């Protein structure tokens, strides 16, 4: 069972990288992709755990990008995270995310909804900061029972406390990934909870140089259409859970990737899969 899109506590998942690998091995995953938001900081710990549990690890990152003025996520696989182009991307994203989160917290603090200290207490050291960390602080305060409720409430994109953050353009993110020797797969391209592009908009995005689409993901509105686009453009097709530990309902292995598609990713990526 191949699951190529998961999050640890280095971004907004609730399992540490080692816990995530152990949980995946116990769930029968044979090849796991670790794809924290805009950071590769969990790779080393996950690699060590993968060797201990005899599970294969695909090192990846879910990179934030802007396409047609909307926020999109691009999965980067098997890229050289020591490349300076990658360092530039993550440094600028971390700054943008930190500033944006501080602005959201300030607006909420002014109305006694949450304080910066409470959010800091729920942001693991070094984690890529995001709204899920505010959500956890709100759950701890008793305002909501679960992250989902916080996202439906004060954290929703239509809330008066919401602030966007600016990520680099899709074309630039794809070049960064390729400059770093990685493989660029558009994550949940038609996620219902996000902006849903039209077929033409997806085709134009593909033309910017994407290697593939994450067709099989619970949030995609039209997997048949995405499957057709993959066939038409001869792209890599992936399927994954987007597991976030207890932070989301997504279960490990709920969607999976076919071995021949993983093989294509391995052919194109500059890094090896840990564990063969």
Q: Is 242 in the site for Zn ion (CB under 5 A)?
A: yes
CB 10 within 8 A of CB 39: yes
Lay out the site mask for ligand AMP across 19-48 (x = CB under 6 A, - = otherwise).
Answer: ------------------x-----------
Nearer to Fe ion, 53 or 238 (CB): 238
CB-hemisphere CA count at 13 Å for 113?
19
Give me the sign of the Cα torsion angle 148, 24, 2, 267. positive
Lay out the site mask for Zn ion across 56-75 (x = CB under 5 A, - = otherwise).
Answer: ------x-------------
Which residue stretch of 87-95, 158-166, 239-247, 262-270 sits at the interface with Zn ion (rule: CB under 5 A)? Answer: 239-247
Chain centre to alpha carbon of residue 48:
21
What is the C-alpha separation between 256 and 276, in angstroms, rounded?
Answer: 19
248 binding partner (options Fe ion, Zn ion, ligand AMP, none; Cβ < 5 to 8 Å by kind): ligand AMP
Q: Is 148 in the site for ligand AMP (CB under 6 A)?
A: yes
Which residue stretch of 15-23, 108-116, 144-152, 212-220 sits at the interface with ligand AMP (rule: CB under 6 A)? Answer: 144-152
C-beta neighbour count of 125 within 10 angstroms: 6
Helix or strand run (H / E) with residue 239: strand 236-239
Q: Sort strands 183-186 and 70-77 into parallel, antiparallel or unpaired.
A: antiparallel
151 binding partner (options ligand AMP, Zn ion, Fe ion, none; Cβ < 5 to 8 Å by kind): ligand AMP
Residue with tokens 């033309």: 207
Strands (E), 16-133: 31-37, 56-67, 70-77
What residues from 58 to 117 belong to the interface with ligand AMP (CB under 6 A)? none
- Closest approach, Cβ 18 to ligand AMP, in A, equals 21
| Positions that interact with ligand AMP (CB under 6 A) | 12, 37, 130-132, 147-148, 151, 244, 247-248
């Amino acid at each position: 069972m191949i699951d190529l899109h998961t999050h640890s506590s280095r971004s907004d998942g609730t399992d540490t990288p080692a816990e995530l690998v152990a949980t995946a091995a116990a769930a029968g995953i044979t090849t796991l992709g670790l794809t924290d938001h805009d950071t590769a900081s969990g790779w080393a710990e996950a690699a060590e755990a993968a060797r201990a549990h005899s599970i294969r690890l695909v090192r990846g990152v879910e990179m934030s990008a802007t396409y047609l003025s909307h926020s999109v996520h691009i999965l980067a696989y098997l890229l050289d995270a020591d490349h300076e182009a990658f360092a530039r991307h993550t440094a600028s994203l971390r700054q943008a995310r930190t500033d944006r989160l501080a602005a959201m917290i300030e607006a909420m603090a002014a109305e006694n909804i949450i304080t910066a200290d409470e959010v800091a207490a729920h942001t693991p050291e070094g984690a890529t900061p995001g709204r899920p960390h505010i959500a956890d602080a709100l759950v701890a305060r008793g305002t909501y029972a679960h992250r989902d409720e916080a996202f439906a409430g004060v954290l929703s994109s239509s809330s008066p406390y919401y602030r966007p953050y600016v990520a680099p353009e899709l074309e630039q993110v794809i070049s960064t990934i390729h400059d770093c020797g990685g493989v660029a797969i558009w994550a949940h391209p038609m996620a219902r909870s996000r902006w849903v592009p039209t077929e033409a908009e997806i085709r134009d995005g593909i033309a910017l140089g994407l290697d593939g689409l994450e067709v099989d993901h619970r949030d995609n509105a039209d997997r048949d259409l995405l499957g057709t686009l993959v066939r038409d453009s001869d792209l890599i097709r992936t399927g994954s859970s987007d597991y976030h530990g207890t932070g989301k309902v997504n279960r490990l292995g709920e969607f999976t990737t076919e071995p021949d598609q993983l093989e294509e990713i391995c052919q194109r990526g500059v890094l090896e899969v840990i564990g063969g």
